[in-house]
Amino acid sequence: MTDVARRARALRDEIARHNEAYFIHDEPTIPDADYDALVVELRRLEAEHPELATSTSPTREVGAAPSATFAPVQHRVAMMSLDNAFDDDELRAWSERLRRVLALDSLEAIDFSVEPKIDGLAMSITYEGGRLTQAATRGDGVVGEDVTANVATVASVPGVLHGRGVPTLVEVRGEIYLPLEEFARLNERQEREDLRRFVNPRNAAAGSLRQKDPQVTASRPLAFIAYQLGALEAPSSSPFASRSHAATLTALRDAGFRTAAETASVRGLDAVLERSAWLEAHRHDFAYEVDGIVVKLDDLDLRDRAGATSRAPRWAIARKLPPEERTTRLLAIEVSIGRTGRATPYAVLEPVFVGGSTVSMATLHNQDQVVLKDVRPKDLVIVRKAGDVIPEVVGHVQGTGRRPRRWSFPTTCPACGGPLVRLEGEADTYCTNLDCPAQQVQRIAHFASRSAMDIEGLGEQRVVQLTAEGLVHDVADLYVLRADQLAGLEGMGELSAANLVAAIDDSRSRPLSRLLVGLGIRHLGPTGAKAVASAMGSLAAIRAAELATLSAVDGIGEVIAESIVAFATNPSNVVVLDRLVELGLTTSESGGAPVLTQTLAGRAVVVTGTVAGYTRDEATAAIEARGGTSPGSVSKKTYCVVVGEGPGAAKLTKATELGVPIVPGERFDELLSTGTT
């Protein structure tokens, strides 16, 4: 080995040690300037001697090529939400439900993990053969965004796992966040450079991670804390295969991850309540923003017994912390108009720092809430962050002297001047003018949003610009826009105009369920849209369906069905729908591909190892295309386990214990075509 090669290797090792000391153990051993000098020297050596560069070099993590877009990632195991408890009584009620589900006389001998709930961005990071291969955001819990290149620049995310018993495949879940000290430094830097300050650490972290150029992400001091495993394929002897959550956290630390130092294992509910109280009292002492406390069963076998609802595990709960409250002056009450015409009053406030961010506006919900809270412009009011997320006005401060005149809800729309009407039996007031410009903007912005048609570059401000210029009146108009029309607009050059037209064109192929969400049909959310699209098969079938047919779709019901029928038969909507079809948008859930026989409808098929002719994602897609699901773990509900080359021992053992049929990988195609094991 040459002297240069030895020096490069020594630099990589030294930088790795300093990264571990700083980001994992919080004990930096050298000043920042000295650390930077080491990285600069290594970058120079690799530039002069490209043959010395390695895929896991610190310089590669920073200097990765920018990605063009965030590709979708299908989670091997769904990233579920957590149910919430808002006080000790609700925490006790959860524990009682859990005791009944587990059929236990008491939980006093049961171990729990009590952890701070970090206010960051949930992340799934997959390692195959011990190397980082993919990182994805939670997204909708089933499909997230591929942010691998960006996450690879986060210094506290190991590129290679350390220690013994490294799994064949492991999905590490945790939180990307911005440490509070780093957040303060970042804002100081923003001010020095005359740039906009970030309002809170969570948003700064999310914005930093969702950058097209990983070098921008690398310039932000993000960190990662691991708290859970998702998919796992490992021998039973691996520390990762332990059936204890506490042991899993130890395995994660040994592999190179940081876990929350404030996490504690306790026994029985009384100890859970005591530890929760301690975490609440010390919430502002931590290095990161905390918006709650998570309580989990420690025993993973008990977790399997407890199971989950459609959205959340029964074995865990989030104890929400009391929202912080502040007083400030209510300057005015204004009304905003949403995409459905709903008129929502909101408070314009003297800016106040509350719940970790500066608040200058807060919701007042509806006309009745304004009357009930009796808040008036110029009042001194109490503001809180409801759930530490949504600012709201609680009420006015009593005993502040003579009060101003009561505020009256307007009778005309502030955007179009049309009448505001309160529907009978409802708390909400609506602008009934379908041509209202405010509704128009909100409908188009919703159509383009990430959860709907996901048109990159078409945010609300851009929609305002396009409607003001008369280029777009409804969502169908988007698909006839030309780059030469856009290039002359303020803030748009030829390249950005071409990119926007390309993004709009790309959205034509979104599945029917995304189109249904984008249309903004009242009461119809993503889950219902998928159910309707799958059951009916095409937009034409939905438009022609009678109320009884739609009501019979699993998960829909009469209220949603009535909304779909009303939307589909509205004359204005009929024109827009006809145009969307003519303009070539996908009108089936399968995107024009033939609908396969549903041989695995309602069945859970677990795949372990490599099946010849299929990537992991392709095997999952093949199962789902035939009506099945492909979870990452084996349970009593598993229909069968498909075993390819290099299978996970834990899954095979579990399948044998539960008597789940095992299908050799070479019979996978037969399983898909016949549905039999």
* Residues 161 and 127 sit within 8 Å (Cβ to Cβ): yes
Phi-psi region of 256 (alpha: psi -120 to 50; beta: other; left: phi over 0): left
Query: Which residue type, as a one-letter code, is found at position 203?
Result: N
* Residues 322 and 421 sit within 8 Å (Cβ to Cβ): no
What confidence score (pLDDT) does residue 400 get?
A: 67
567 pLDDT band, cuts 50/70/90, is very high
pLDDT at 629 over 90: no
What confidence score (pLDDT) does residue 525 get?
A: 85
pLDDT at 88 over 50: yes
pLDDT at 212 over 80: no
Distance CA 531, CA 561 (A): 12
Of residues 69, 238, 73, 70, the one with CA closest to residue 616? 73
Flag the least confident range among 107-121, 347-361, 449-463: 347-361
Of residues 538, 549, 551, the one with CA closest to residue 577? 538
Q: What is the pTM of this model?
A: 0.51
Rounded percentage of the chain residues whose pLDDT exceeds 70: 91
Average of pLDDT values for 444-463? 92
30 pLDDT band, cuts 50/70/90, is low
What confidence score (pLDDT) does residue 207 get?
A: 79
Average of pLDDT values for 409-427? 89
Average of pLDDT values for 231-238? 94
pLDDT at 36 over 70: no
- Maximum average pLDDT range among 77-91, 238-252, 527-541, 634-648: 238-252
Flag the least confident range among 121-125, 362-366, 488-492, 592-596: 592-596
pLDDT in tens, 43-72: 788 888 888 877 677 765 432 222 345 788
What confidence score (pLDDT) does residue 25 get?
A: 41
Q: Which residue would you say has higher pLDDT here, 108 or 86?
A: 108
pLDDT at 22 over 60: no
pLDDT in tens, 192-211: 776 666 757 877 888 788 78
* Residues 121 and 177 sit within 8 Å (Cβ to Cβ): yes
Q: Which residue would you say has higher pLDDT here, 571 or 591?
A: 571
Rounded percentage of the chain residues whose pLDDT exceeds 90: 51
Q: Output DSSP code: residue 160.
A: B
Distance CA 256, CA 20 (A): 8
What confidence score (pLDDT) does residue 388 get?
A: 54
Counting DSSP H helices and E strands in the chain, the numbers are 25, 21
pLDDT at 366 over 90: no
What confidence score (pLDDT) does residue 118 get?
A: 92
Question: Using CB atoms within 10 A of its CB, is residue 247 exposed (0-12), middle (13-18) or buried (19+)?
Answer: middle
pLDDT at 358 over 70: yes
Full set of structural domains in the chain with CATH: 3-62 (1.10.287.610), 84-320 (3.30.470.30), 325-422 (2.40.50.140), 437-509 (1.10.150.20), 512-582 (1.10.150.20), 604-674 (3.40.50.10190)
- 555's CB contacts (< 8 A; 6+ apart) are 527, 528, 531
Q: Which residue would you say has higher pLDDT here, 477 or 529?
A: 477
Flag the least confident range among 94-103, 162-171, 366-375, 461-470: 366-375
pLDDT at 190 over 90: no
Distance CA 618, CA 640 (A): 18
pLDDT in tens, 276-326: 999 988 887 888 888 889 999 999 999 999 999 777 899 999 998 876 777
What confidence score (pLDDT) does residue 66 get?
A: 27
Q: Which of the residues are catalytic?
A: 117
pLDDT in tens, 480-521: 999 999 998 998 999 999 999 999 999 999 989 899 999 999
What confidence score (pLDDT) does residue 356 get?
A: 67
* Residues 605 and 639 sit within 8 Å (Cβ to Cβ): yes
Average of pLDDT values for 541-569? 91
User: How many other CB atoms are there within 10 angstroms of residue 516's CB atom?
Assistant: 24
What confidence score (pLDDT) does residue 35 get?
A: 66
Question: Using CB atoms within 10 A of its CB, is residue 593 exposed (0-12), middle (13-18) or buried (19+)?
Answer: exposed
Distance CA 324, CA 354 (A): 6
228 beta partners: 173
Instruction: Name the residue with tokens 């408070």.
Output: 347
Query: Which residue type, as a one-letter code, is found at position 140?
Result: D
What confidence score (pLDDT) does residue 591 get?
A: 58
Average of pLDDT values for 571-597? 83
Q: Which residue would you say has higher pLDDT here, 233 or 193?
A: 233
pLDDT at 539 over 90: yes
What confidence score (pLDDT) does residue 68 get?
A: 43
577 pLDDT band, cuts 50/70/90, is very high
Q: Where are the alpha helices (DSSP H) in 400-551?
A: 437-448, 460-468, 483-486, 494-506, 512-518, 526-536, 539-544, 547-551
The DSSP string of 191-231 is HHTT-PPPS-HHHHHHHHHS-SSHHHHHTS--EEEEEEEEE
pLDDT at 31 over 80: no
390 pLDDT band, cuts 50/70/90, is confident
Average of pLDDT values for 124-145? 91
Length of the chain: 677
Average of pLDDT values for 332-358? 89
What confidence score (pLDDT) does residue 129 get?
A: 94
Secondary structure element (H or E) that encloses residue 639, with its range: strand 638-643
Structure tokens at 292: 């709650």
Structure tokens at 88: 């000790």
